[in-house]
């Protein structure tokens, strides 16, 4: 993963394709697959064990739950619907919002007038970006150890007093404590 830009970008340059064009092409392939055979695309995805149940519990609670993602919101909505979760569309903030996650957290903080926000993320750079915001110091930062990160990222999270390393097992425990 660390060498990916050095490896991939020369191929894009040789093909005369920009990074933005490659992202658009990938999105187009996914869009066509979804349009041609939505069910097959949905069948390729699985939620981590216990997560659908926990999402349902959170939605039934008084806590405003949001999904903030770099994926398109419509894909998230389709995946949740397939699993029987009727997640409010207005609380799925995907790629289409076109703003950094820390800005979305800032807007949610203002909207709900809360300081206690739990931000669970699987990419350490996204957590670091939130950590760098002086007005978001009370946001609890969690690195999901099952996502897009490497052992070195998890070690950095262990060493950072502001970032909590989170395993699937801990997710269940944390939610049980919260209830």
Considering the domain architecture, whether residues 7 and 74 belong to the same structural domain is answered as: no
Considering the domain architecture, whether residues 38 and 100 belong to the same structural domain is answered as: no
Residue-range definition of the domain harbouring residue 28: 1-44
Predicted TM-score of the model (pTM): 0.79
Considering the domain architecture, whether residues 152 and 172 belong to the same structural domain is answered as: yes
Torsion over CA of 120, 123, 125 and 130, rounded to 10 degrees? -10
CA geometry: angle 139, 45, 107, nearest 5 deg: 25
Show pLDDT as tens, one digit a residue, over the chain (179 residues): 667 778 888 999 999 999 899 989 988 998 898 889 988 988 888 888 788 988 999 999 988 999 999 888 988 998 999 899 999 999 999 989 999 999 999 999 999 998 789 999 999 999 999 999 999 999 999 999 887 888 899 999 999 999 999 887 766 666 556 55
Considering the domain architecture, whether residues 33 and 102 belong to the same structural domain is answered as: no
Domain harbouring 172, CATH code: 3.40.50.1000
């Amino acid at each position: 993963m660390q060498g990916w830009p050095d490896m991939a970008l020369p191929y894009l340059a040789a093909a005369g394709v920009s990074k933005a064009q490659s992202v658009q092409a990938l999105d187009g392939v996914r869009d066509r697959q979804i349009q041609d055979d939505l069910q097959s695309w949905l069948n390729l995805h699985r939620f981590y064990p216990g997560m659908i149940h926990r999402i349902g519990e959170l939605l039934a609670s008084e806590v405003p739950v949001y999904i903030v993602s770099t994926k398109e919101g419509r894909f998230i909505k389709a995946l949740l619907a397939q699993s029987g979760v009727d997640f409010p569309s207005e609380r799925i903030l995907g790629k289409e919002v076109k703003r950094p996650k820390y800005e979305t957290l800032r807007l949610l903080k203002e909207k709900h007038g809360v300081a206690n926000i739990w931000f669970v993320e699987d990419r350490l750079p996204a957590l670091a970006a939130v950590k760098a915001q002086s007005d978001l110091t009370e946001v609890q930062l969690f690195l999901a150890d099952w996502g897009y990160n490497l052992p070195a990222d998890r070690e950095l999270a262990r060493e950072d007093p502001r970032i909590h390393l989170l395993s699937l097992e801990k997710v269940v425990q944390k939610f049980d404590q919260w209830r």
